[in-house]
Amino acid sequence: MTSSTPRPTAPAAGAGRRDAEATKAAIVRAARHLLARHAHADITLKAVAERAGVSAPLVLKYFGNKDALFARIMSFEADAAAVLDAPLEDLGRHMVQHLLTSQAEEGADPLLRIVFAPLHREHGYVLRANFRTQVVRRLGERLTGPDAGLRAELAVGMLLGLGVMYGIARGPHLRATAIAEITDRYAPAVQACLTPG
Amino acid sequence: MTSSTPRPTAPAAGAGRRDAEATKAAIVRAARHLLARHAHADITLKAVAERAGVSAPLVLKYFGNKDALFARIMSFEADAAAVLDAPLEDLGRHMVQHLLTSQAEEGADPLLRIVFAPLHREHGYVLRANFRTQVVRRLGERLTGPDAGLRAELAVGMLLGLGVMYGIARGPHLRATAIAEITDRYAPAVQACLTPG
Q: pLDDT, tens digit, for every residue of B69-111?
A: 999 999 999 999 999 999 999 999 999 999 999 999 888 889 9
**Ranges A147-151, A173-177, B123-127, B148-152: which has the least confidence:** B123-127
Q: Would you state the pLDDT for residue A12?
A: 56
Q: What is the mean pLDDT of residues B33-52?
A: 90
**pLDDT in 10s for each residue of chain A, 197 residues:** 334 434 444 445 577 777 888 999 999 999 988 988 888 888 999 999 999 999 999 999 999 998 899 999 999 999 999 999 999 999 999 999 999 999 998 888 899 999 999 888 888 999 999 999 999 999 999 999 999 999 999 999 999 999 999 999 999 999 999 999 999 999 999 999 999 98
Is B177 found in the same domain as B87? yes
User: What percent of chain B has a predicted confidence (pLDDT) above 70?
Assistant: 93
CA A9 to chain B, closest CA, distance in angstroms equals: 43
Number of domains in chain B: 2
* CB contact at 8 A, B163 and B99: yes
Query: Are A118 and B168 inside 8 Å of each other by CB?
Result: yes
* Bigger pLDDT: B136 vs B71: B136
User: What percent of chain B has a predicted confidence (pLDDT) above 90?
Assistant: 73
Is B175 found in the same domain as B104? yes
Is B84 found in the same domain as B68? no
Q: Which of B165, B175, B181, B185 to mutate to test the interface with A (most CBs of A within 10 A)?
A: B165
Is A34 found in the same domain as A90? no
Residue B48 has pLDDT above 60, yes or no: yes
Is B96 found in the same domain as B23? no
H-type alpha helices, chain B: 11-35, 45-52, 56-63, 66-73, 77-83, 91-106, 122-130, 138-140, 148-163, 172-175, 179-194
Can you give the CATH number for the domain in which A26 is found? 1.10.10.60
In a domain? residue A89: yes
**Domain housing A44:** 15-73
Domain limit, last residue, from B58, B73, B88: B73
In a domain? residue B1: no
Contacts of A131 in chain B (CB under 8 A): 169
Q: Would you state the pLDDT for residue A13?
A: 59
Cα B32-A171-B197 angle, rounded to 5 deg: 115
Q: Residue A121's closest chain B neighbor by CA?
A: B37
Is B89 found in the same domain as B46? no
Is B133 found in the same domain as B102? yes
Interatomic CA distance for residues B158 and B139, integer angstroms: 14
Q: What pTM was estimated for this model as a whole?
A: 0.88
Interatomic CA distance for residues A163 and B163, integer angstroms: 13
Torsional sign, CA A92, A97, A102, A107: positive
* CB contact at 8 A, A38 and B120: no
Query: Are B162 and A162 inside 8 Å of each other by CB?
Result: no
Q: Would you state the pLDDT for residue A5?
A: 39
Chain A residues within 8 A (CB-CB) of chain B? Answer: 36-39, 114-119, 128, 131-132, 136, 147, 149-150, 152-154, 156-166, 168-174, 177, 182, 185-186, 189, 192-193
Is B86 found in the same domain as B137? yes
